Chain A
Amino acid sequence: QQQVKQSPQSLIVQKGGISIINCAYENTAFDYFPWYQQFPGKGPALLIAIRPDVSEKKEGRFTISFNKSAKQFSLHIMDSQPGDSATYFCAAPLTSILTGGGNKLTFGTGTQLKVEL
């Protein structure tokens, strides 16, 4: 069962443009929504995260918008640069008291972003 659905699968944006990646979740128990960035041959790295009591969070050129009623959240990359070309994953942790509260992450399927000159 896929608990986090991500779109689009791939995205091409011109330098300076806005990149938008969307995620939808099903489990209302999720209480933390991170975005990870992964370059080829590297592990995912935390980019930005939001809690559901906040509708928007901005860090530099990266913004998360959160719509709790629609169970959707999105990543916006402003002024996209070639160095932003990577795969982006949305994720959500599911903490279970029964399994020790490990904050294991459920990831989306990823969006491959290419920023062209």
Chain B
Amino acid sequence: GAGVSQSPRYKVAKRGQDVALRCDPISGHVSLFWYQQALGQGPEFLTYFQNEAQLDKSGLPSDRFFAERPEGSVSTLKIQRTQQEDSAVYLCASSLARTTSGRVKFFGPGTRLTVL
């Protein structure tokens, strides 16, 4: 596809359920980022992959959050035992590389997660 795609676009979960959010980055993009955007706030960094390697997971709020990118393309963000405070839009972004040109990040439309 032409841009970053994410699925599902909307997810409603009952508290305690596990969810999995998918990101398809732009083909050939080495770097992949996950961000969490609470209502009315700016996106906050969660984790970063370079190809299949997760190089930075400093933003993951708890050990209930887990991300993977096993083949260096598609990534999945998994949230176990969801809590109401996990309700947010989860954004995925990709960029070409670590170099200066890689600073241009392309964001997907996000997955809006609502935990009841």
Contacts and interface: CB of A to CB of B under 8 A. Distances in A.
A43 B42 CA distance: 11
A43 B103 contact: no
A103 B98 contact: yes
Interface string B47-67: 010100101101100000000
Interface residues of B, number: 31
B104 interface: yes
B56 A99 contact: yes
Given A34-B103, A43-B110, A45-B107, A103 B31 contact: yes
Interface-central residue, A46, A104, A110, by most chain B CB under 10 Å: A104
Contact of B42 (A32, A45, A46, A108): A108
Contact of A102 (B35, B44, B98, B109): B98
Contacts of A105: 33, 35, 43, 45, 105
A107 interface: yes
Interface in A59-117: 89, 91, 93, 96, 99-110
Contact of A43 (B44, B48, B93): B93
Contacts, number: 73
A51 to B, nearest CB: 9
Given A32-B103, A44-B107, A109-B41, A101 B98 contact: yes
A49 interface: yes
Nearest to A101: B98
Contacts of A43: 4, 91, 93, 107-110
Interface of B: 4, 31, 33, 35, 40-45, 48, 50, 53, 55-56, 58-59, 91, 93, 95, 98, 100, 102-110
18 contacts: A41-B109, A42-B110, A43-B108, A44-B91, A45-B107, A89-B42, A96-B56, A100-B56, A102-B48, A102-B56, A103-B95, A103-B105, A105-B43, A106-B45, A107-B42, A107-B43, A108-B42, A110-B40
Interface of A: 6, 32, 34, 36, 41-46, 49, 89, 91, 93, 96, 99-110
